[in-house]
Structure 1
Amino acid sequence: MRPVIIGFLLLISTIFVNGQAQNPVSNQEIRDAILSLVHSNSMLDQKLERHEQRERALGELVKKGLMTLQKNQRIFEPIKGSFDRLDKRVSEIESMLLNNEKQGREEQQKLANLLEKILTAFEQSASAAQVSNRISDGSDEDDESLPKKINDLTDMVRELRREIGELRADQNTIESTNKNLVAQAEEIMKQKENQADLIAKKLEEKLSKLSSNNGGSELETKIASTLSELKTGLKELSNGGNGGTSGFTIADKQFLKELYNDTREAIQEVQLEVLIASDKSFAKTATRIKETHEAVDEVSKAMLDLTSAIESINSDSIKSDGTDKMAKLEKIMIDTSNNVLETKRRFEYGIHQIILEVGDVMKTANSSMQKRLNELNDGILENHNNALVNLSSKIETEMSQVWRQIGIMFNEITSSKKVLDHLQEQTELYVNGTIITMDSMEGKVGLITNRMQEVDSNLNYLLGRLSLVTQEFNQIKFGLGEALDNIRSSFMTVQEKVKQNVGPGPHKIPEERDNDEHALGKRSFPIFTRQRLN
């Protein structure tokens, strides 16, 4: 800028020097021209700075808008993951139920195997009883075979006791398996309840996260009209308190409460049904086992009576005849075999009843549990699907409005960009015209510098001539001084002669004085001055 001002000043000075004779320019006009030029340049700089600031502000605005849009899109991304995790949890629940059903079937199979083992044991005891009957039928044999028969009977009693111990062990295993089934059912119910609570909590967290990011950036304050509807929707989801709104809208809150209550009620009902069924099965199993214990006690009592009778027979057979004793022994053995067969029948019937009742109870419990779980699963899935559809529709409407506002902003930005491009073109044209004028001024300044050099050479010539003029003036001054001195002396002589009283009359003027006066006139004007005057 300074070279331009200096060039302009040189141009004004040369014009002033060159055109003094034709059109003189005052210093005030030059000063006004310089100030107007400086003012125009400062205004141009300010306009360019303002345009640059507007472009920067517009770029920052667009950048912040894109950043906020990306943030809003990132907010909706975790929803997909949450629903995927929810689907995984539902699939895990289904697989868990299938595994539990499979385990129940395995336990039923184990129970059936144990009951088959018990039946086989009773069949073996029945065969042993038949052998004892055959032995009793052959009572006409010799008395020497009696100790052998007694030993066989004692072996049979021991076998029966062993089988009764195995039956008690199987009973304990059945009780433990039933307890394990009930515990597993309770754990499953607790897991379902915990999963329902987790699902509700996760839904609340996700819906609260949707509304947590309502920051106060400059873009939100500048384009509040653009995102106002989305903000109000999210604030209705996020503003909690006593004013009628919680983390959700009233409909969403009511829906989640109903879903949570239905889930808890269904789980509690299933749990109660399982507990009731297990209690019934336990009670029936306990009664049957008690009856079996009573029958086994009766059998053991009969066996003890039989052994005591056999011992008494053995002691008395030595002293007396064995005919009556053998008859008594045969009668006792027949009664014992009948008691054993009756106990076997009772035991088989009790076990069969236990199996049927346990099977019925397990079937009803499994069917009711399966039905309840299916209803619960269907209800949860239906409610979740409805909530997802409602949420997706709301999100679609809000996003459509956001995209519409973004389209309006894009059109406004494109129009402002066109205006800025047009302004930039005008600025470029103005700057190019200024550059052209500056180039022309630079050429004129070059011409002025050449003229200044010529003026400098002419001034040197004038200074030389002025020195000659001063010398001639000094010579004229000196000659004039001498002439004035001579005139003074001549006036003095004339004055002295006048003072002399010579009287009237003609006076004789000597010729020498005339000659002196002509000589004085010749000395007072040198040759150089006469030539100069001519």
Structure 2
Amino acid sequence: SVVQYICSARSGSISLSRKCSVVLRAEHQVSRGFQPQVLTDFGPQRQKHTLPCNGNMAAKSSLFLLAIVSAMASLVLAQQKVDVTNQEIRDAILSLVHSYNLLDNKLERHEQRERSLGEQVKKGLITLQKNQRIFEPLKGTITRLEERVGSIETALLSQDEKNTMQQMKLSETLEGVLSWLTENAHTLEARARPADEDGSLAAKIEELTHVSRDLINHVEKLTKREFGSSDEIVGKIEERLSSYYNNPVVIPANTDFEEKVIKKLESIENIAQETRTTAVAAPAAGSTLDKEFVHGLVNETLEAIEDMRLEVLTASDKSFSKTATRIKENNEGLQASVNEILKTLSEEIVDSEAFFSATKKDIGSLKDEIAALSRLEKFLLQTGENVLDAKRGIDYG
């Protein structure tokens, strides 16, 4: 904006031989602050004087302009020989109005920019709120996932302990049977059998052999049914793990296998006890064939039981090792998923904080621009009032 006032002075109280015109230029830019300029014209030569001023000197500039206008009005009223035409005053007022219109247009542009920035800030806040709502249920999901993983680990550990106890009990039972058969084998070999009891003894031996073979077959069937192959065991464990996610963890008590083994062992013990009683009551007589047959039967039974015990232990160890490996892999996968979710959540939080800080900074700069525009508006209003007062003083004074 430009406020131009021309004052022509003739010879009189001021000893100047040439005309002097003073042009006051007040240029204000919102980004640089208010900076008035004074152009002094002494004849053909013109000199430009710039008054330094920053954005914080808007009030001082207003007072400076008011003082200059008042001094010029006083000079006009004090000197009778000064000729100021209405055309010059009209030009000055038109220049002031033009400058005011320019500043008004700038103010409108700043207001439009402020509205657009406000819309952007509003959209950003809405987006931030939506993201926060999206992340709210994630915490509950992670908590429930950790609880399920903990319950699954507890159930698997308890089941592993139970299987270990069953294995230890079965091993102890088989060892007891082996030791008992070993002790009674020497007793049966050392004693003779009567001739009249050969038929009953052979029947007892056949029954014992049949019971031993039934026990071996039954143990094999139970082993296949309980353990099976490694793939079947892993499949069953995976099915149980998947069912643990949807159903509460319940470990049923499985004692059928133990009861069946104990019953078979009791039957073997009863038959052996009857055989031992019969052998003790009989006189010392027998044949070498019966001794060899009993000795071979006892050795065969011992070898079969030992092989079965080793097979049971081997299958159990393999199944437990594969189960532990699969559980470890599942835990590692779950831990990796949880870590990835936490990493994504932390990145989103950092981005949201950066966006919020940038928005806050833009709002602060916008407030500063609005304050500068309000100061500029007050300055223009005060300048207009001063010019009108000077015009009225010139017209009516």
Question: What's the TM-score bracket when you normalise by the shorter of the two chains?
Answer: 0.3 to 0.5
TM-score under structure 2 length normalisation: 0.45
Larger gyration radius, structure 1 or structure 2: 1
Q: Which has the higher strand share?
A: 2
